[in-house]
Amino acid sequence: MARTNRIDPSVFDRLPLKRDAAAVRARVEGLEKLMERIVVIPGINRPVGLDAMLGLLPVGGSFVGAAFGAYMMWEARNLNMSRATLARMAGNVGVDWALGLIPGIGIVPDFFFRSNTRNLRLIRRHLDKHYPGTVTLNG
């Protein structure tokens, strides 16, 4: 008898692919953790993420990091955040991108200027004010 290759639709209920504010919060918090603090450097106990690791790639790493930052801004736009806040987020991503383009030392600013963490703080502030049901205690 032939087996069907159908995916059980209940699998998608567990993924944070929904458009509500709680799902957006889960996605941007996960993205920030991936980009800024996925591993801890032994000895100095400093968390680093994919953003700093991408800094090892000469120019392309900075562009990939900026693309992840742009995705976070797109999620913020879908939450109807103000244009001023979106401009501030764009400035954070732009500064991170520009500092990452500096040859040889472009990875150093990734340890000190964490644009995704700054942008997550702005998104959380908006979500806490306009969608209080999404507030988490561990976040």
The SS3 call for residue 102 is coil
11 belongs to a structural domain: no
Token pair in block for residue 81:
């955040």
Number of domains in the chain: 1
pTM of the model: 0.83
Residue pLDDT, tens place only, 101-137: 887 788 888 888 999 999 999 999 999 999 988 887 7
Domain range enclosing 71: 33-132
Using an 8 Å Cβ cutoff, are 65 and 56 in contact? no
88 belongs to a structural domain: yes
117 belongs to a structural domain: yes
8 belongs to a structural domain: no
28 belongs to a structural domain: no
93 belongs to a structural domain: yes
Residue pLDDT, tens place only, 48-98: 999 988 888 887 889 999 999 999 999 999 999 999 999 999 999 999 999
105 belongs to a structural domain: yes
106 belongs to a structural domain: yes
Backbone φ/ψ region at 4: left (φ over 0), alpha (ψ -120 to 50), beta = beta
For residues 66 and 55, give the distance between their C-alpha atoms in angstroms, rounded to a whole number.
11
